[in-house]
Amino acid sequence: MRARSASITDLPISPDEDRQRRFRTYLILMLVRVACLGIFFVVPDWWKLIPAFFAVFIPYFAVVIANQVGSTGPEVGRVAPNALPPGPSGGSPTGSTGTSGPSPDERP
């Protein structure tokens, strides 16, 4: 049995691209945190609890999300979306073996 050949689509993203993606995600979440801190000083009374809650917990989620490294390799059993179905294992080029019924010229 022939081994499946490697495809360029099977390659994971480069470490540099992955690092940039994680940095961008962390930066966006920290900007949301700064916005929450700014909103904290604008809203009145008990409404301050909502932006304060987000300002306290966003750093934890930002670190957890930013530390998730991308895929490390191809998934086992994955088929490329543009892959052709397997061809016939033998027989005529049309794929019929002649036992499926009468040929088109034998039909009434």
> Which tens digit of pLDDT belongs to each residue from 44-99?
999 999 999 999 999 999 999 888 876 554 555 555 566 677 777 755 555 555 55
Query: Is 92 a domain residue?
Result: no
Query: Is 38 a domain residue?
Result: yes
Query: Is 77 a domain residue?
Result: no
Query: Is 62 a domain residue?
Result: yes
Query: How high is the pLDDT of residue 68?
Result: 86
Element of type H or E holding 5: none
- DSSP letter at 18 equals H
pTM of the model: 0.56
Closest CA to 31 of 55, 6, 65: 55
* 102, two tokens: 């009468």
Query: Is 30 a domain residue?
Result: yes
Structural domain harbouring 31: 20-66
Per-residue burial over 84-100, b = 16 or more CB atoms within 10 Å of its CB, e = otherwise? eeeeeeeeeeeeeeeee
Total structural domains within the chain: 1
Instruction: Write down the number of H helices and E strands in the chain.
Output: 2, 0
